Amino acid sequence: MTRRNFLLFIVVLFLVAGLLPVISMLVKSIIADGVFSLESYEGLLSSKRQWMLMGHSFLLSTLVTTLSMAVGVPLGILFEKTDLPFRRLFILLFVIPLLIPPYIIAVSWFYLLGGDGILAHAGGTGLLISGIVSRLLFGLPGCTFVLFSIYLSIPMLLTMIFLRTVNPRLEEAARLVSGVRGVMKGITLPLVMPGLLLSAMLVFLLSFGEFSVPNFLRYDVFPVESFTQFSAFYDFRAATAASVPLVGVTLILLLAEAAFLRERTYQLNPTPEDEMLPPIRLKKKRNLILILVSMICFVVVIVPFIALLTRAGGPDTYVEAIGRARGSLLRSLLYASAGATILTFFGFFIGYSIETGALSLRWSLDSVTVFLFALPGTVIGIGLISLWNTPWTNFIYSTPLIVIVGYLAKYTALTSRITVAQLGRIPQSMEEAARVAGAGWFRRMIFIMIPMARRGLIAGWLVGYIFSLRDTGITMLVYPAGHETLPVRIFTLMANGAPELIAALCMIMVTATLLPVGFAWFIPGLVRGRGT
Amino acid sequence: MNRTISALGFGLKFLVAHIGVVAGFGLMLQGMVISGCSGGGGNEAGSVTVYVSEDQVFSEPILNDFAKETGILVKAVYDTEEAKSTGAMNRLIAEKNNPRADVYWANEPIRAEVLKQKGISASYISPNSVDIPAVFKDKDGFWTGFSARARVIVVNYGVKEPPESILAYTDSRWKGRSVIANPLFGTTTSEIAALFTIWGDEKAENFMKAMKENEVALSTNNGESTDFVASGRYDFSLVDSDDAVNRMRQGKPVRMIYPDQGENETGCFIVPNAAVLIKGAPHPDAAKKLIDYLLSGETERKLAFADCAQIPLHSGVGIPPELKPIDELKVMQVDYAEVASKLVKIQPFLKAWMEL
């Protein structure tokens, strides 16, 4: 099999898994009783309520993006360019909320600030503060804060990554005529602007399509409309139509990214460690900045976990939680591991296709992966049911394989982009030399490219594992009866389940997510290396 | 020949070099397919798949007991009504052409009616349904009610003369002091649709408009409404009996009133669970056994004493002191099929009402 045929085969499999269900849903939304009909779309955005919901979504996303950038970019600069102590610890802590299901963060703030929360039971001042703050928690302020705390690390990390790509000689030359601030303003920030815009776009898209947090904190946003059609009216055509504006916004931003940013965000050439400039010394301001960063970290990261731990109570609750959810936990780990492996496999070859241009549709392929990532999980889930629920495909639909297909559809963008970034750093001459020496493509992949991309593959596997583990939107719709995962079980038990039990299950979920990440972080060279 | 040998050698080296990854990957997938097909180790012939809209904390113990007593493996999909996300009901509709479920445990009969209207359910008249009042079951056997909630008025202790009718929502005495759950979802929608069927459209619409003019507040669900009343933020709300009993058992300062029990009054709306046999169920015999079990007096007794505090529809079943037996209640006389149809028709009105 030639390179092209193999890559085409991989791409076709991915499109069948990911795009075909969505196309199936879109087609069904315009066919009523065998006849073409736009009836489902006629009422779209025609009522005041729908425009109100759309306005809410835009407002929420804009606020979250603005706050995340305002705090995340300076944090990225501090951690990458200065001598602030405990930088690696702070980076790890700030990333944690991104790794766990968003509604768990919302739940933990509810346990702290809700009417029956920890603060309310504290009495006195605690009760007074709880009374005031709990009203803010439910609504736009609470949603904004929770989503900000989750997505803050995206601009932080991307700022750090793009700062590494700035040629230090330019900064060095600029420092001859200007101070640190001037260099930052005139040289560094303009050069990393594509990365900042990319992070703003990502945060906007993710918060725009987010449903679980606004739903839990009772702030009506546009994704509610799609779910209302499912939940209240069982109208799949209308629900698909209701998700089209979300798809439209996603496409517009993707087109903008493709037009203005793609070339500048793909080819990342980080500066080697030994060529980097020495860190900027914070001198007298060091302690003050350390205290400020610590406070932000405490509020955004530590407090919600303290709330969860406090609510969960003692070991007995955890024992009961594990006893009741042991099967769900094991299934979650199994499905996430399998999903991560499949995602890494497909992500590698799709990323290879994009990076090398081995297939002519490289940018279309990239856009499809990102499009599917931004699409609400419910649309993909219903599409999977409509496509795969047939007597001839029961061997997929009635088994956990359908869940893995869902992960493949939704999260391939992550592993493919990690692969692209990693492959971009491997000199093409390595593969070319092997080719000249007579090695076929498969041998070059197995013995040259994959070993050299090892760190990227491990990082991709970890990212695929985390997102597969935390998934609820698709899993909730397609998991075979009796095979629910832990996030689904937490969600279903939230209805009248004991808060202590829910809190304990959330902590177990967090631990299951963070363990492999921590393992990889603390083993030198496994993922982190020069310039990683 | 040399090329063939070389290719074979290369393939062997590939396998040897990556045997761990390949084997692990293959075992994982194999495990998943096997576990998916066998449902975690059970015998396919001795299993039943049930989709459940009743809260998992209440329904799971019943299903576990059924599995223990009969030896039939139960595979369940639970709903997330509280989160309003797509769940059991939508799966059933999406899977219509290739049903995977055997039984649907609905937490209200309206959903069961929707399934009947969409041709997804099958007729089955259980021997345990004989004693259940006719108003709580489909005459053709497409669903049978059991273990009900009543729509009640939950009132804060601090209210001296509590309301005893749902008409209190339009009484100026309670202006700005009442709350109701989102009428687009759940039992609130069902009750409003029921009022439309017994009052007529004009009277029901006027009632809703008067409610808005009386500054009724909206909550996201009945539990939240009950919590608002318990905290004193509002004086009363129309909620499900299990929400009220739940807060009473927690020691919250609320009491429960069965509304409109007077001679010429409408009575209180009753929301039974409903057991539904799915058309084309893969395991029809096990499905019927499960339905018989759900409709038994013993199941109703367990659900009455659980935190969900549901009222048995069989007479003579023991109940906790907070509940009234069904035959002591004046029940709103409705046709649930008519309520299900009306529910769809009034959706545009309710959406517009939300925007008022």
Contact B76 A481 (CB under 8 A): yes
pLDDT band at B32 (very low <50, low <70, confident <90, very high): low
Length of chain A: 532
CA distance A324 to chain B (A): 11
Predicted pLDDT of residue B188:
92
Q: Which amino acid is at A118?
A: I
Q: What is the mean pLDDT of chain A?
A: 82
CA distance A348 to chain B (A): 15
In chain A, which residue's Cα lies nearest the Cα of B243?
A496
Predicted pLDDT of residue A69:
95
CA distance A3 to chain B (A): 16
pLDDT: is A230 or B246 the higher one? B246
Question: Where on the phi/psi map is residue B240: left (φ > 0), alpha (ψ -120 to 50), or beta?
Answer: beta
Pick among A213, A398, A496 to test the B interface (most B CBs inside 10 A): A496
Pick among A234, A333, A477 to test the B interface (most B CBs inside 10 A): A234
Q: Any CB–CB contact under 8 A between A139 and chain B?
A: no
Contact predicate B326/B269, CB 8 Å: no
Count of C-beta atoms within a 10 Å radius of residue A17: 24
Contact A493 B57 (CB under 8 A): yes
Angle between helices A102-113 and A303-312 (to 10 degrees): 70
Query: Is the pLDDT at A64 greater than 50, yes or no?
Result: yes
Q: Which two tokens stand for residue B223?
A: 């539990």
Q: Residue A446 is nearest to which of B14, B29, B246, comparing CB atoms? A: B14
Give residue-wise pLDDT tens across range B158-203: 998 999 999 999 999 999 999 999 887 788 989 999 999 999 999 9
Contact A227 B86 (CB under 8 A): yes
Stated as kind and residue range, the H or E segment containing A470 is: helix A454-470
Q: Residue B85 is nearest to which of A48, A218, A476, comparing CB atoms? A: A476
Q: Any CB–CB contact under 8 A between B31 and chain A?
A: yes
Q: What is the mean pLDDT of chain B?
A: 85
Interface of A with B in 229-248 (CB under 8 A): 230-234, 236
Give residue-wise pLDDT tens across range A195-250: 888 889 889 988 887 877 887 787 888 876 666 665 555 667 777 777 777 777 77
Q: Any CB–CB contact under 8 A between B331 and chain A?
A: no
Residue A440: CB partners within 8 Å, gap ≥ 6?
Answer: none
In 3-state terms, chain B is what percent helix, strand and coil (to 5)? 50, 15, 35
Q: Residue A483 is nearest to which of B14, B36, B82, comparing CB atoms? A: B36
Q: Any CB–CB contact under 8 A between B177 and chain A?
A: no
pLDDT band at B145 (very low <50, low <70, confident <90, very high): very high
Backbone angles phi, psi at A185, to 5 degrees: -75, -40
Give CA–CA dist A304/A213, Å, rounded.
14
Contact predicate B132/B295, CB 8 Å: yes
B91 to chain A: which residues are within 8 Å by CB?
385, 477
Give residue-wise pLDDT tens across range A294-352: 999 999 999 988 888 888 888 989 998 898 889 999 999 999 999 999 999 999 999 88
Mean pLDDT of the region B123-135: 94
Contact predicate A496/A317, CB 8 Å: no
A232 to chain B: which residues are within 8 Å by CB?
184-185, 189, 347
Minimal CA–CA distance to A407: which of A457, A468, A364? A468
Contact predicate B183/B352, CB 8 Å: no
Query: Is the pLDDT at A531 greater than 70, yes or no?
Result: no
Query: Is the pLDDT at A133 greater than 80, yes or no?
Result: no
B349 to chain A: which residues are within 8 Å by CB?
none
Backbone angles phi, psi at A29, to 5 degrees: -75, -15
CA distance B263 to chain A (A): 34
Query: Is the pLDDT at B18 greater than 50, yes or no?
Result: no
Question: Where on the phi/psi map is residue B50: left (φ > 0), alpha (ψ -120 to 50), or beta?
Answer: beta
Q: Which two tokens stand for residue A356?
A: 């090398």
Give CA–CA dist A235/B118, Å, rounded.
12
Q: Which amino acid is at A524?
A: P
Predicted pLDDT of residue B336:
93
pLDDT band at B22 (very low <50, low <70, confident <90, very high): very low
Give CA–CA dist A467/A474, Å, rounded.
12
Lowest mean pLDDT among A54-68, A91-105, A143-157, B158-172: A91-105
The position carrying tokens 């306005």 is A55
Interface predicted TM-score (ipTM): 0.77
Contact A395 B75 (CB under 8 A): no
Predicted pLDDT of residue A158:
87
Give CA–CA dist A145/A352, Å, rounded.
38
pLDDT band at A121 (very low <50, low <70, confident <90, very high): low
A233 to chain B: which residues are within 8 Å by CB?
344, 347
In 3-state terms, chain A is what percent helix, strand and coil (to 5)? 80, 0, 20
pLDDT: is A30 or B50 the higher one? B50
Bridging pattern class, strands B236-240 and B103-106? unpaired
Give CA–CA dist B45/B83, Å, rounded.
34
Lowest mean pLDDT among A41-50, B144-153, B241-250: A41-50
Predicted pLDDT of residue B102:
97
CA distance B81 to chain A (A): 8
Burial A345-375 (b: 16+ CB within 10 A, else e): bbbbbbbbbbbbebbeebeebbbbbbbbbbb
In chain A, which residue's Cα lies nearest the Cα of B102?
A481
Q: Any CB–CB contact under 8 A between A452 and chain B?
A: no
B80 to chain A: which residues are within 8 Å by CB?
476, 491-492, 494-495
CA distance A125 to chain B (A): 18
Distances (CA, A) of A355 to A120, A263, A352, A425, A440: 54, 11, 5, 11, 19
CA distance A70 to chain B (A): 32
Q: Residues A174, A179, A183, CA angle at the centre, nearest 5°? A: 45
Length of chain B: 356
Contact B98 A494 (CB under 8 A): no
The position carrying tokens 């990554």 is A161
Q: Any CB–CB contact under 8 A between A390 and chain B?
A: yes
Predicted pLDDT of residue A314:
87
Contact B56 A493 (CB under 8 A): yes
Contact B80 A400 (CB under 8 A): no
Interface of B with A in 68-127 (CB under 8 A): 73-87, 89-91, 93-95, 97-98, 100-101, 114
Q: Which two tokens stand for residue A251?
A: 């496409």
Contact A389 B18 (CB under 8 A): no
A398 to chain B: which residues are within 8 Å by CB?
36-37, 100
Instruction: Tell me what percent of the residues of chain A surpass a pLDDT of 90.
Output: 20
Burial A236-250 (b: 16+ CB within 10 A, else e): bbbbbbbbbbbbebb
Predicted pLDDT of residue A267:
53
Instruction: Tell me what percent of the residues of chain A surpass a pLDDT of 70.
Output: 86
Interface of A with B in 475-504 (CB under 8 A): 476-477, 479-484, 489, 491-498
Size of interface A-B (CB pairs under 8 A): 169
pLDDT: is A29 or A407 the higher one? A407
Predicted pLDDT of residue A241:
73
In chain B, which residue's Cα lies nearest the Cα of A497?
B57
- H helical segments located in chain B: 2-38, 56-70, 88-94, 109-117, 186-199, 201-213, 222-231, 241-249, 284-294, 297-305, 336-345, 347-355
Query: Is the pLDDT at A517 greater than 80, yes or no?
Result: no
A378 to chain B: which residues are within 8 Å by CB?
85-86
Give CA–CA dist B142/A77, Å, rounded.
65
Contact A481 B49 (CB under 8 A): yes
Give residue-wise pLDDT tens across range B50-71: 999 888 889 999 999 999 999 9
The beta-carbon contacts of A270-278 under 8 Å, at least 24 apart in sequence, are A270/A161, A270/A164, A270/A165, A270/A425, A270/A531, A271/A164, A271/A165, A271/A166, A271/A167, A271/A168, A271/A531, A272/A530, A272/A531, A273/A530, A273/A531, A275/A168, A276/A164, A276/A168, A277/A168, A277/A171, A277/A172
Give CA–CA dist A200/A214, Å, rounded.
20
Lowest mean pLDDT among A42-51, A69-78, B201-210, B295-304: A42-51
Q: Residue A398 is nearest to which of B31, B93, B100, comparing CB atoms? A: B100
